[in-house]
Amino acid sequence: MQQAVKGTGKMQKYFDLVIIGGGIVGTALAREMKLRFPSLTMAILEKEHSVGTHQTGHNSGVVHAGIYYKPGSLKARLCVSGMKKSYKYFDEKGIPYKKCGKLIVATEEKQIEKLDTLHSNSLQNGLTSVRMLHGNEIKEVEPYCKGLKALHSPETGIVDWGMVAESYSRDFESAGGTIIPYFDVIGIIENNDTPKKSYNFPVRIVGRTNSNIYAKYVCTCGGLYADKLAMMTGCSPNPVIVPVRGEYLKLSYKKQHLVNGNIYPVPDPRLPFLGVHFTPRMDGSIWVGPNAVLAFRREGYRWWDIKFSELKETLFSRSFQKLAFKYFAFGTSEMLKSIVIGLQVKELQKFIPDITAKDISRGPTGVRAQALDINGEFLDDFYFDTAKTGVLAERVMHCRNAPSPAATSSLAIAEHLAVELETRFRLKRIVSNNEKKVSKKST
């Protein structure tokens, strides 16, 4: 079914299922769907040269344990499950990682109540290895760190999530899937083309180079362009995606010995960000940050990366305007810290007093797809949407928000999404002989 057609001189291909977006969620989902439905032809469309180029390849590389999330919530279940699945997957594939642990440190009395809540949450989420440390106990884990109390998570680790996405994509290809790079989607429309074969593939995906992909079913996992892809099929512009750039600092080589594992502050419950933290990397370097500032384009990794059409859309969005009004002081502070990196030193010294302004330098950046609802509130849960017009309504699903920690949860998210697709698209799964035997025993 995966066949080139030359009718117009352009390459055209036909697939049962197409995943748009080759980030960590898109590649994990494609892998899961191909394992569940091996007889279906599938493709990943990725606008860059390779998978995992944007959010996946620009994050801190942390494997989260599931401490922050409300017990019983979908995010809590998927994170804890995803962490366990991730470590198992890394071992099976030989992907290097480190369980370097994590401290969430309270440096002020007013933070202790929130820290106790996080401890309770982690225990309810099944993280029995998490324990509370008092005073000098902190130095048993992080000798140079100070604090009143700290929550220690030994299961938290680090990995290169870009490498993981590449591994997912190799699994997908090995199972018979196809990855099509440099395919920038500019339209998802009902197929009215005349070739007889195309009638069985009612969705036409139009690429910027005037190429077409035909599909029976489509799922978009577009990250920074999730809302744009959804709007192509008649969906509401809300939730809108606002690009938030996170700028990391790097700790000097001479001071890397001050940090063993991840060191985090107690988070502000009003914000979706975890605060400026110390993160060791697989190459031995230590990242500090990130901050959170508005990016001037959806893939704007530097201050001078500006796309005026995208910036205008953001600034004139009612969701963003309400957010900016509510968090004006916070936003201004973050911008100042971005310009004058020395302003962050006082925050860092709350945890490790031996750090000075000379010990930090500018590091890498990433851009986060922050989904906002119509009231300017941060969307902190999964949001799925379906096309609103004609036959597309039964054929196209959009993953418009896969909130952090999406990388850690990727394998669990993929299973969750696979069930969504199977139900919504009424896909028939081929059950293996082993599954049949298990089913008979259970009945």
- Express each pLDDT in 34-70 by its tens digit: 999 999 999 999 999 999 999 999 998 999 999 998 8
- Express each pLDDT in 170-199 by its tens digit: 999 999 999 999 999 999 999 886 565 566
What's residue 252's pLDDT? 95
What's residue 207's pLDDT? 94
What's residue 198's pLDDT? 61
Cβ atoms of 418 and 29 closer than 8 Å: yes
What's residue 428's pLDDT? 76
Closest by Cα among 155, 81, 157, 70 to 120? 70
The pairing of beta strand 12-20 with beta strand 212-220:
parallel
Where the chain has pLDDT below 70, the residues are 1-12, 193-199, 272, 429-443
Distance CA 430, CA 159 (A): 34
Which residue bears the tokens 């944007």? 54
What's residue 345's pLDDT? 87
What's residue 11's pLDDT? 56
pTM assigned to the model: 0.91
What's residue 213's pLDDT? 95
User: Which residue type is seen at 256?
Assistant: Q
In this structure, what token pair is assigned to residue 443? 């009945």
What's residue 346's pLDDT? 86
What's residue 194's pLDDT? 58
User: Which residue type is seen at 171?
Assistant: D
What's residue 435's pLDDT? 42
CA dihedral (386, 387, 389, 395) positive or negative: negative
What's residue 40's pLDDT? 95
User: Max CA-CA distance within the chain?
Assistant: 74
